[in-house]
Amino acid sequence: MDLSLIIMQLFSGIALGAVLVITALGLTIVFGMLGVVNFAHGALFMIGAYAGLYLASLTGSFWWGLLLAPLLVGAFGMLIEFVLVRRLYGRSIDDPLLLTFGLSYILVEGVRIVFGSDGIPFPTPSQLIGVVDLGVGFFPKYRLFVIALVAVVLVALWLTLEKTRVGLIVRAGARDPQIMRVLGVDIGKVWLAIFGLGVGLAALGGVLAGPMRSVNPEMGTLVLAEAFVVTVIGGLGSIVGAVIAGLMVGICISMVALFAPEMATIVMFALMAAVLLVRPQGLFGLKGRA
Amino acid sequence: MARRDTKLRRTGVSRRTALMGMSAGLASLAMPRLGRAADDTIRIGFPTPLTGPFAAEARDQVKCAELAVKLVNDKGGIGGRKVELLVRDDKLNAGEAATRTLELIEKDKVHAIVGALSSAVQLAVNEVTRARGVIYVSISQSDTINEVKDFSKYTFHEALNPHMTTAAVARQTLKKGMKVAHLVADYAYGHEMLRGFKRAQATIGAESVGEILHPFGAPDYSTFMPRLMSLRPDVLCISNFGRDQANAIKQAVDFGIKQQMKIVVPVILHNQRLAVGPDVFEGVVGGANYYWGLETQNKTAAEFNAAFRAANGGAIPTDYGAYGYSGVGSLLQAMQAAGGTDTDKVIAALEALKYDLTKGPQQYRKCDHQSVQSVLVLESKKKSAMANDNDLFTIVASDAGTEDLLRSCSELGHAT
């Protein structure tokens, strides 16, 4: 097995991991801060892809779709929080889980009714068609772009959470919402924004995945499972965990694809089982949290 | 607690008794009508994966099966009896399909089953139908269903099989000395296609340089691409189905694979070509049972297209749709000839039937009930060469249907 092939696999793995990171991040943030397991996350990923496609064809530019779809779907997420999820805070964890589970069915069926159950082509933006010579082999430009964009989003997110006043409120709100209320912070608004952010990230994942896969109503189903695996490996609620675990899963799938391709899907579940045996709370999870 | 339990149980029993009494009364009222309906209508069960990665193809199957039923009913049915199609979602799951099929037979009292789309699922349906002695016309690709192990006198196979398709595609695309790599879905369909291609390669003298099995239903194929490119083949055969085909070809093209090698698929899918667009599929060659563009050279195809257009607002029928039409259509013709639904008479009629429903003459071979039919080889057109949105493929070859395309009866284990 020559080295250049292994380096190429590494790149494929990181590109695969990048989309996993973005989707898992939304899931883990919403769980970590709100204690809500969002089962509609995969469906919202799919909505993101359709919204991106629709907006791109409306404006004639992929870039507008990429920018607007996460914002619009994020706003839709805030509406979901405001109208539905909000009523279930403080109840057992099953209630919002069941709510979002039902919601995912409605969203998938809704898209089937509006856009049909066939796949729809999502063309790669013309600037990113083609391959780049990495010295060890050719790699699609678009996948490199995805890696770069995800890195930028991660840095921006980290800076906001760690270095700004808003980030401080969010982190404190996750720790102890009651004290925050006493201190005069409208925690309801914070939760609204967090849910919107989580959904927006799912939508961003969907738009980014669009040009790599066929866009269809069921495209979110497997993504939800993958995102769960990543959050569980990384530790439920942990942002760093989601990033590390996402890349780990991507690279793992890619390496296994090289040596035992038919095992490429199973491997992430095996990895999850192995991590849970050693650290039941996940790599970066807090004990007793999950 | 104990007292509450007794109380609950007591009310439970009394309610159940009341319900039993009521339903018995209702049943006796409804029975005469139900009974008469059961005698009149000919019911065809139609399990197909309406949800999941083959949903687009399944929906076309249903549309065309409904058209076949409608055309017969418009002409007064079969011996004055109306035909009814009972469509069920098998969810692309063998267990689900077996349950739905059993339900169709036991509860809905269907006279025959047509359908299934996945090679693994059709075998599950076949298990049930042959155990119950109900005719099953399969419209999904499979080689094993022809073999003596899975065959029964109730089993008919209207679809092409991997042996026929891969041989036809290989004849058009492979040459002596060529290097061939395979990307294969890791389940029955993929394995059978791979076997077919390798057999054809051996005849032609082309060499396999590598085989990669991928998990069924995988959304990402990028991790297989560097390996496939490093094998440096002349031809890449991608043997998978439905959305897997669209995703695999799309990602292969992203990696620039088409600049290095030709992409060949056993079955090129109309709906998947629509799902990813002309640029991605440009130059991809694959086999097909049907393509609407056949209408310029085939009268039956023109008639079938016209009937479908009339029933579906001008839309055109697709490849797997045509299976739904010919599968149900051939069965109904046999019932017509047999003068009813008597299973043995219909089997005899199917074996004797010469039918021409979509693309020219077809008939079920006696030993394995495989439909002898023509195989098309299509090449996806580039965007600038398309006359309209439906002008997807060029017909590269149309091999006339003869028994030479099939494996011999003795090879399959049938008495000759």
Task: Please report the ipTM that was assigned to this predicted complex.
Answer: 0.88
Average pLDDT across chain B, whole number: 90
The whole-number average pLDDT for the span A157-183 is: 87
Give the closest of A140, A219, A254 to B223, CB-based.
A254
pLDDT tens string B104-115 = 999 999 999 999
The whole-number average pLDDT for the span B95-101 is: 96
Contact B53 A218 (CB under 8 A): yes
Domains of chain B: 40-160+295-373 (3.40.50.2300), 163-288+376-399 (3.40.50.2300)
Assess whether pLDDT exceeds 70 at residue B304: yes
Cα angle A266, A272, A278 (rounded to 5 degrees) comes to 140
CA-nearest of B248, B58, B380, B265 to A213 is B248
pLDDT, residue A1, reads: 59
pLDDT tens string A223-267 = 999 999 999 999 988 889 999 999 999 999 999 998 898 888 899
The whole-number average pLDDT for the span B42-66 is: 92
Residues contacting B262, CB < 8 A, separation 6+: B173, B234, B235, B236, B283, B285
Q: How many angstroms away from the CA of A57 is the closest CA of chain B?
A: 14
Burial class (CB in 10 A: 0-12, 13-18, 19+), B216: buried
Q: Tokens representing B343?
A: 């299973």
CA-nearest of B319, B374, B371, B375 to B169 is B375
Give the closest of A137, A223, A261 to B224, CB-based.
A261
What is the percent of chain B with per-residue pLDDT over 90, rounded to a whole number? 80
Whether B349 has its CB under 8 Å from any CB of chain A: the answer is no
Assess whether pLDDT exceeds 80 at residue B29: no
B178 versus B242: the higher-pLDDT residue is: B178
The nearest alpha carbon in chain A to B220 belongs to A213
Phi, psi of B288 (to 5 degrees): -160, 150
Give the closest of B51, B213, B243 to A261, CB-based.
B213
Q: Work out the pLDDT band at A108, boundaries 50, 70, 90.
A: very high
The whole-number average pLDDT for the span A119-140 is: 89
Whether B313 has its CB under 8 Å from any CB of chain A: the answer is no
Q: Work out the pLDDT band at B9, boundaries 50, 70, 90.
A: very low
Do A287 and A264 touch, CB atoms closer than 8 A? no
**Length, in residues, of chain B:** 416
Q: How many angstroms away from the CA of A184 is the closest CA of chain B?
A: 47
Q: Work out the pLDDT band at A75, boundaries 50, 70, 90.
A: very high
Contact A123 B279 (CB under 8 A): yes
B310 versus A1: the higher-pLDDT residue is: B310
H-run or E-run covering B85: strand B83-89
The nearest alpha carbon in chain A to B218 belongs to A265
Residues in a beta bridge with B395: B378
Residues contacting B93, CB < 8 A, separation 6+: B121
Instruction: DSSP letter for A166, please.
Output: H
Assess whether pLDDT exceeds 90 at residue B56: no
Do B141 and B121 touch, CB atoms closer than 8 A? no
Assess whether pLDDT exceeds 70 at residue B207: yes
Q: What's the rounded Cα separation, in Å, for the pair B83 and B80? A: 10
Residues of B in contact with A212 (CB under 8 A): 220, 222, 250-251, 254
The nearest alpha carbon in chain A to B276 belongs to A121
Assess whether pLDDT exceeds 90 at residue A206: yes
Contact A123 B277 (CB under 8 A): yes
